[in-house]
Each structure stands twice: as structure tokens, then as C-alpha cells.
Amino acid sequence: MFTSYLRIAWRNLWKQKVFATVNMAGMSVAICVALLLSLTAYHEWSYDNFQENRNNVYQLYRQDITAKGVRVSKSFSEPMADVLKKELPGVKHVSRIGGGEMPVRYKNKNIYLDVEMVDADFLQMFSFPLQKGNPHTALDKLDQLVLTPQSAQSLFNQEDPVGKTVEVSINDRWKPFVVSAVSDKIPDNSTISYEALARFENVEDYHEIKGDWHFSTYPVMVEMEPSAKAAVLNKGLITIANKYMADLIKDLKTMGGTPDEEGQLLRIQTIALKDLHLSPNSTFSTGLNPLYPWMMLLLACLIIGIACINFINLSVARSFTRGGEIGLRKALGAMDRQLMMQFWTEAFLLCFISLLVSMVLAAILLPYYNATFRHDLSFRLLENGWLVLAIASGFFLVTLLAGGYPAWKIARVNIIQVLKGKLSLTKGGGVRNGLIVFQFVVAALLISCTAIIWQQLNFIRAAPLGYNTTQVISIPIDNASQQALVAMRNRLASEPAVESVTGSMLNLGMGKDGSSGNWVLGFDYKGNQVSSQNIVVDYDYVKTLDLKMVTGRDFSRQYGADTTGVIINEQMAKQLGEKDPLNIILNTNGRTFHVIGVVKDYHFESLRNKISPLMLTMSATVRLNYLFVKVNTNHPVATMDKIYGIWKEINPLAKNDPSFLDENADRLYRQEARFSKIFMSGAILAIVISCMGLFAIAVLVIAQRRKEIGIRKVLGASVSGIVLLLSRDFLKLVLIGVFLATPIAWYGMQRWLSSFAFHTEIHWWIFALVGVVAVVIALITTSLQAIRAALANPVKSLKID
């Protein structure tokens, strides 16, 4: 029976090629886009699914309740790991994680690897299987090293790496390590990644931080026993915080912090490993908004919904041109369920063809999609049976939505009305019009959101940051030795395009190495708890970045004691509360500083944040990670290439590219730029699909009104009057859609803008412009057929069929 329905359905679709083509094109594109967006959402949610202990492994972070709100810290002191293991009930394993890019050499081979310093429990906590070696003993000794297959291949080629000795440069000293194991390749959807593993005791500042509760430098991961309850865990963390962080809690109380409902000023919180990838409080977070996958799914549903609406409207409208067929079937005894089955089979066949076409389109477009939106998707995700089942269920639901209602509507028509020829598109017009309005609500909403996101991005890019962004090059120095930095300074001194050179522990913005961060210090000043961000810098920092000195001076080689000096910003000066901040003495973390200068506030962080208090210090022990080179040239790209070429000569292992600081600043807002591209693409697609449906509906409506048009022409109606008459009803629906979308877009974008400390305002003219664009597009879509109908010979229209 079903095969009979399919044959008839194929014949009917073949006869109605225009209808089938319009519907299939809309559905194919919509399903293709929805498939790519759904794969994006699934990929983000799939992070760490391979980890067997993902529900029992947690990253710890700290919440301090201050008078200015909750302050989050993602790092802990070195002794915390040992305390957790000994005193926290239910703890199974603990590991700290530190390290980064380090030079590694074997014989004449010398490369950089991401060497992560971890505790011996690491390989028991995380599901990183070993190809060679024993996970229980691979990190037992301080001189053991675990490699990935790619790292082993880079160092040893075809040699067996296990048992071989390599050297790692730590704090400018080569230290020997014995390769104890080789792990499997790390999955793409792993939040935690590495190229080599060594024991945490090898971090370069270990002897300084060992046993010191005042330095909070590294994240801590904890694995709990499966039987451990959340309430017991939280209670244990409160006990540990009150016991070992009493001084900090006392300082928070002095600062005017208000205890929470349980009387706590400081809480150690947890993030489950399964939530780590999208958590803003995670050390390993990519900065991706947790709502991002949901936005992808929502956009996918909206686009599919628009395509389904087209399908429904066109199917119902087309049924009125098939009145003779429906009437004849009913007269010959066809039951409603048989008619419903026939029309649903046509919908199913068309949707199935659309699905096949969409999969081909998705395969073709996937590389461009990844490149445009910075994703790393592949159809290997479809190896997951649950995902395939979800897609199949979604497809079946789409066929029900797109084909079910038209089939039900058509099957219930009155046979008498059909045979009298009284069926018209005005019947059930309320549902049709409501669906058209919904389409343009979605389109207007996406256009409005895109416009406001784009406006905010332009606002951010144009906002003065308080430092020189266009002439300063940032070079990641990849843990290079002090001798290499001195050599680089000497080489650049002879370059005519170079005006000044400095160094910094932290980058400004986000460089091509993807690194960003901060260092917060808290200390007592005259009985008040003071909190400030700290950046360790080199000489000429103020000069190179063109920071404005309010009072005092920059660091200078003429003053031998400048390593005890500190430059503060205006916010820090306000926090200290002194009329003359120069020569103030600050004691923090066992070091004494005296203020030598105050710089004008500048945006050393994203514009999402207000400008925080800041201290610029110098240190002989803290490693500088970036060089800033100020240039004066008419050929910036060529100059940057030349400077980086010099650095590659001095440090051949350098692997992170340089960038200008304006590029770094722009890179901070990649997420917003990605949202803008996706919303713009969705808006264009929504408009195109909606207009395809509007065009087809207009064709059918005008076809049914051809006699009316002929009479009006005979009675003297002008072409413009007829076009306006035929387009007016559709333009009303579009305007209603815009009016309904406006408050939704305003509310959503107002909430989004509130996440920025500095943001643009939403102007009324944006929504007015969206309305004009939507109306113009709809007018062009409908007026093409309206003009054609108005210019037609009225004699043909009035001819009796």
C-alpha cells in the first residue's frame, strides 16, 4: 500500500515541478544549516565525554565575598593539594596542573612542547590511556616524562622512546628526564591537553611556593569517590577554608564583605569535569558563552521552523488548485485517512529528497563553515548512535510538522464545496497569515540582533584603550632564556624602524598563542584590605605603550632600587585614598614596594570589565613572557616580519607568531564576531526562505484573484493601484512581524549589552531600519507577480473556463 502512495506522490510532485522545487530548495538549505548548527552544539557538549570519571572529577575555584561583590579566583596555594588529600572526606585523587611551552631536546633534536606539570595521581584521575608504560607508575619519580604519540614521533622518529633520556629547559637550566610512557592521542574534545607530562615538583618556582599559603598560582583538580555525597564535599571544603584561609577571611571581613546565608565570606566551589569546557570559572575555559550551544540549537530550530511554515502554507495553498482531484477521490469513496496518508506521503518523499540533498550540501560546505566560524567539526560525530537517532527523530518530527497539518487540513474539506468549486485561499487564512507573521518575526529578530551586535563590535573597536595599539608589536617569547632576550634587545637597537622595546609577564588583549590571564594581589594597607591586579614588566613599559603619566616617573636603569618600585594606575591610587600617592610603602606577599609613579587608567583587560586597580612591578625572578616592540614605519607588515625573523634567528624554536596590539584587542571579541556572523547568516537565510514562501503564496493568491484583477482593469484601475492592492495584505503581515520582533530583540540585546562594562546604546532607528528593509524585501517579492498580473490582458482573465 505504501509503495502505491509513493508512486502516486512521485507523479504528483513531477507534475508540480515549480512547487516541488521551491519547497525542496527551502527544506534542503534549512536542513543543511540546521544539521551544521546541531553538530556544532553537540560538539561543544561532547567535551570530556570520553572521561570515565567525568562525574566525579572537579576543578576547585574560590569565591571571595567583598564589599564590591563576589571575586573569583581559579588558583590555589601549593599546600592545598596535600591538605585536600589528607583531610577532605571522600577524596580519591588530587592533582595540580602547571607548566606550558618548554624547550625539549634529544641528541641533536630540539623542539618546543607543551609540558604540563602534574601530580602522580593525574593518570588515574583522567582517561588518557597509555600505549606504552604503566599508568600507576609512569609519574612515580620526579624525573619521569610521559609523551603523546605526536611528541614521541617528533623527538624520536621510529625509535622506541620508553627508557630514553631527554632534557627539558626549566628556568633556563636543562634538566634530564626519562621517558616512562607514551599515551594515546588526546581526543579533540578534551578540555585538558598536553604534549608531555612531568611531576609538579618540577615547576620553576616550586621552591618559592612550597608550603606557602600566600601564593595562589595553580589550579587544583580533585577526584571524589563515587559514593561521596555533594553535601559532605561542600561541608568539608568549608571546614578546610575556615582552617587554612583564616587570614584571608579576616581580611575580607575587614574590607566590609557581607557573609552569605550560611555566614561564609569565602567559599571553595567545584566545577564537574563534564562542565569544565563551558564554565566561565574554569581555568581551562575557552571563553565560550555557555549559552552558545543553545543558541545554535535555537537558530537551527527557527530555520527549520521557517522552512516548515513555507511547506505548510504552500501545501495548503496548492491543495486548493487540486480541488478537482480531491473531490473526485472523495466522490469515489476515498476516506479521510487515505487522503491524509497520500498527502503526508508526498510530504515525506519531498522531505526525504531534501534530506539527501542537504547532506550533500553539508559535506561540501563543512570546510567553509569551519573556516568561517572557527569550528573544528567533522562527520565523525555521526559515529555516535544517539546523535544519529536524534537526527532521525528530528527528521521524522519535521515531516509530521510540515506534512501532517496540510494532510489533515486537505482531508477534511467538504466534498460539496469542492464539487461546487467554492474552495478558496481565504479559508483558513488566519493560520496561514499567522505562520507568515512568525516567519518575519524570526527574520526581523535576527536582523535586529545582528545590527546591534555589529554596532557593539564597532563601538569596542573604536573605543580608546589608553595605550598605543597600532604601532606596538607583541611577540610571545616561548620561555626563552634571559640571554636570548638581551640578544634581541641588542639586535633591535640597530633597527631604524624600532623606537623602543619592553617586556611583560602578561600580554595585552589575546595574542595568536591564545593566551590571556591576570594576577590578583591582596594585602593590607593601613588596616584596610587592598586588592589589585599585578603585571610584572620590564624597563620602558610606559614609554613603549605610550601610557600617560599622571605623576611620578617610569622605571629607569638609573635607579638601582627600581625592582622595589611600583607604578600604579588611577584606580589603585583612589583605592589607597592618599592625596599624594608617591613614595607610599606597600607590603605584599613578603615584598616591600614604594610608589614611584601613577599612570592614567588604561584598558589592560577586555571592555567587558571595568578598569581595575593595577600595579606595575619589576622582578628578577618572574619570567617575562612577551616582548613589546614599538615601531615607526609605513610598512607595518614587512617590519613585523623582519623583527620576527630576527627573533627566529636568536630563538629558532619560536613557534608563536607576533601580532600588533590592535589585532590582540580585536581577538578578545572573537565570540561576539562569531555570533554576528552566525546571526547575519541566519537572518539572510531566514529572509530568503521566507521570501520564497511569500513569493509562492503570492503567485497562488494572485492566480485565484485573476478575474477580480481583470474586472478592476476594465473599470479603469491603474497598474500601480492594482499592485498596491495585491501587495497590501502581505505588507501588513510583514509589519506585524517587525512590531512583534522589536520588543523581543530590544530586551534580549539589552541583557547581552549589560555583560559589557562599556557598551553602546540601542537606538530606535535600528528597529525602524529593520522594518524598512523587511518591507522593501517583501514588496519586491510580491510586487513582481502583482505587476505581471496587473499588466496582463484583462480579456484573458475574464474568459470563461
**What local confidence, expressed as pLDDT, does residue 157 receive?**
87
**pLDDT higher than 60, residue 293:** yes
Model confidence pLDDT, tens digit, residues 594-608:
899 999 999 988 888
Higher pLDDT, 787 or 765: 765
Higher pLDDT, 788 or 535: 535
What average pLDDT score do residues 282-310 get?
Answer: 80
**What local confidence, expressed as pLDDT, does residue 508 receive?**
87
In 600-750, DSSP assigns E strands to 614-617, 626-631, 659-660
**What local confidence, expressed as pLDDT, does residue 337 receive?**
66
CA angle in degrees (0–180, nearest 5) for 507-513-519: 35
Helix, strand and coil content of the chain, in percent to the nearest 5, comes to 50, 20, 30
Chain position carrying cell 544539521: 35
Q: Please give the C-alpha separations between residue 296 and each of 76, 383, 398, 453, 706, in angstroms, as whole numbers.
A: 35, 21, 18, 16, 43
**pLDDT higher than 50, residue 444:** yes
**pLDDT higher than 90, residue 95:** yes
Three-state DSSP class for 184?
coil
Backbone angles phi, psi at 758, to 5 degrees: -125, 120
- What confidence category does residue 743 fall into, taking pLDDT thresholds of 50, 70 and 90? very high
Residues 6 or more apart whose Cβ sits within 8 Å of residue 653: 103, 110, 111, 112, 478
**pLDDT higher than 90, residue 228:** no
What average pLDDT score do residues 20-42 get?
Answer: 82
**pLDDT higher than 60, residue 328:** no
Residues comprising the chain, all counted: 801
Spatial separation of the C-alpha atoms in residues 696 and 692, rounded to whole Å: 6
**What local confidence, expressed as pLDDT, does residue 714 receive?**
72
**What local confidence, expressed as pLDDT, does residue 147 receive?**
94
- What confidence category does residue 2 fall into, taking pLDDT thresholds of 50, 70 and 90? low
Question: What percent of the chain is modeled with pLDDT above 90?
Answer: 15
Higher pLDDT, 427 or 661: 661
Cell representation of residue 267 = 567559599
**pLDDT higher than 90, residue 176:** yes
Whole-number average pLDDT of the chain: 81
Q: Please give the C-alpha separations between residue 36 and each of 47, 369, 412, in angstroms, as whole numbers.
A: 17, 8, 38
- What confidence category does residue 425 fall into, taking pLDDT thresholds of 50, 70 and 90? very low
- What confidence category does residue 561 fall into, taking pLDDT thresholds of 50, 70 and 90? low
Chain position carrying cell 584596610: 528
Model confidence pLDDT, tens digit, residues 350-387:
778 888 888 888 888 888 887 777 777 777 766 677 77
What average pLDDT score do residues 332-336 get?
Answer: 60
Spatial separation of the C-alpha atoms in residues 578 and 581, rounded to whole Å: 5
Burial of 220 (0-12, 13-18, 19+ CB in 10 A): buried
- What confidence category does residue 322 fall into, taking pLDDT thresholds of 50, 70 and 90? low
Chain position carrying cell 588515574: 124
Burial of 620 (0-12, 13-18, 19+ CB in 10 A): exposed
Sign (positive/negative) of CA torsion 126, 244, 253, 593?
A: negative
Model confidence pLDDT, tens digit, residues 690-721:
777 777 677 767 766 777 777 777 777 776 77
In 479-625, DSSP assigns E strands to 498-504, 520-525, 528-536, 549-552, 565-569, 585-588, 591-599, 614-617
Chain position carrying cell 615547576: 203
**pLDDT higher than 60, residue 426:** no
Cell representation of residue 534 = 599585578
What average pLDDT score do residues 259-274 get?
Answer: 85
What average pLDDT score do residues 614-641 get?
Answer: 86
Higher pLDDT, 451 or 262: 451
